[in-house]
Structure 1
Amino acid sequence: MPAQSFNAFCPDWATALLNGFSQIFLQRHPLCGLLCLLAILIGAPAQLGGALLGALAGLLTAQRRGYAKADRQAGLFSYNGVLLGLLLSLYLPWSALLPPLIIAAAGLSAILTQQWLKRARQPHSLPAYTAPFVGLGWLLLSLMQPQAPLLPAATELSLSSLLGGLLQGLGQIMFLGQPLAGLLIFLGLLLANRRAATWALIGSACGLALALWQQQQGQALLGLGGYNCALAALALGQQARAPWRPLAGIFLALLITPGIFSLGLAPLTAPFVIACWLVHAAARVLDRTPRDNTPCAPPSSPPRLR
Structure 2
Amino acid sequence: MRSLPPLNALQTFEVTARHLSFQQAAEELDVTPTAISHQIKILEDYLGVSLFRRRPRPLTLTEAGNLLYPAVRDSLDRIAAAIAQLQQTPESTTLTVSVTTVFAAKWLVPRLSHFQRTHPDIDLRLQTSNDVVDLGKQTVDLAIRYGRGNYPGLAVCKLMSDVFMPVCSPRLLKGKHSIQKPADLVHHPLLHFEWIHFDTDAPDWKNWFKAAGLETIVPDDGLTFNEESLAIQAAIAGQGVALCSSIHVADDVALGFLVQPLDVSLTGFNYSAVYLENHPKKALILKFVDWLVEMVADELSPTKAKTG
TM-score band w.r.t. shorter chain: under 0.3
- Higher relative contact order structure (alpha carbons within 8 Å, sequence separation ≥ 6): 2
**Structure 1 or 2: more strand by fraction:** 2
TM-score by length of 1: 0.24
TM-score by length of 2: 0.24
**Structure 1 or 2: more helix by fraction:** 1
